[in-house]
Amino acid sequence: MKKFNVDEFIWLLILILMTFYINYLMISGEIYNYLSEKTTKNLYIAIVILPLFIFIQAMKVISFNSRRDTSMKFIPIIFTLTIGVLLIVRSNLYNGENTKSFKNILAKNAIEINHETHHIFEELESNGEEYLGKYIIFTGFVYKYEEDKFILAREEMNCCAADSYIIGIKTLANNKFDEGQWLQVLGKISYDNEYYLNIEEYIEVKEPNNIYF
């Protein structure tokens, strides 16, 4: 006789939590804290397939119960997924982004270096004259000083956070900063035997939720 199957219901709950978890990470962009943009594209397959699994699993909830009750073994999985979902929701409620903006009117037409445009770092080395005199907005951390300039940097991932490496741009400023300090800067690309970013205005910011490119 068919009746409510606890084991199948627990598997359904696990699939629902997993689907919510992956979708939230994708929509919020927090997935880029763990995976590179290229690797993350593979998760779109999971976003399509998981709802199908949920539908199929829902059909199994009303079925013949198994002879042996194995529902307890799922508790660690459900607990872990539930805690993960709650931490993400809590982070979204309490972690605000930086809302300060530049006073300099030139910021409106500046080129912003972000996840989609960080290829500009490579282009400055190969074809820097194209950007000479242009204004750039970039948020990064002070990596290290080289004489009067420092490298304003971010970390880039090939696949995941474990294989990340430093990318950035040599930067000149009138102020001295601590290594590891996060800044959002507005500067002009200048040249003196090398291309560098000459800061005209900066804002001290907190480390962003997504530190990787």
Q: In whole angstroms, give the CA distance from residue 184 to residue 204.
A: 6
Mean pLDDT for 106-121 is 88
- Same-domain pairing of 87 and 141: no
For the whole prediction, is pTM greater than 0.85? no
The verdict on 189 and 123 lying in the same domain is: yes
The mean per-residue pLDDT over the stretch 128-144 comes to 93
- For residues 59 and 40, membership in a common domain is answered with yes
Residue 81 and residue 160 in one domain = no
- Please identify, among 65, 94, 123, the residue that sits at the C-terminal boundary of a domain: 94
Same domain, 178 and 128: yes
Q: What is the pLDDT of residue 90?
A: 58
Domain that holds residue 19: 3-94
Is residue 94 pLDDT above 60, yes or no?
no
Asked if pLDDT for residue 26 goes beyond 60, the answer is yes
Least confident of 24-38, 40-54, 60-74: 60-74
Q: Looking at per-residue confidence, does 25 or 202 come out higher?
A: 202
Q: Which of 70, 94, 118 is the last residue of a domain?
A: 94
* Among candidate residues 42, 62, 94, the one where a domain is terminated: 94
Please tell me whether residues 199 and 117 are part of one structural domain.
yes
Same domain, yes or no, for 7 and 44? Answer: yes
Considering the domain boundaries, does residue 72 fall inside one? yes
Residue 88 has pLDDT above 90, yes or no: no
* Count of the separate structural domains present in the chain: 2
Return all residues near 172 (Cβ < 8 A) that are at least 6 apart.
148, 149, 190, 196, 197, 198, 199
Q: Do 11 and 75 lie in a common domain? A: yes
| Domain identity same for 114 and 180 | yes
Range of 57-66, 95-104, 150-159, 185-194 with top mean pLDDT: 185-194
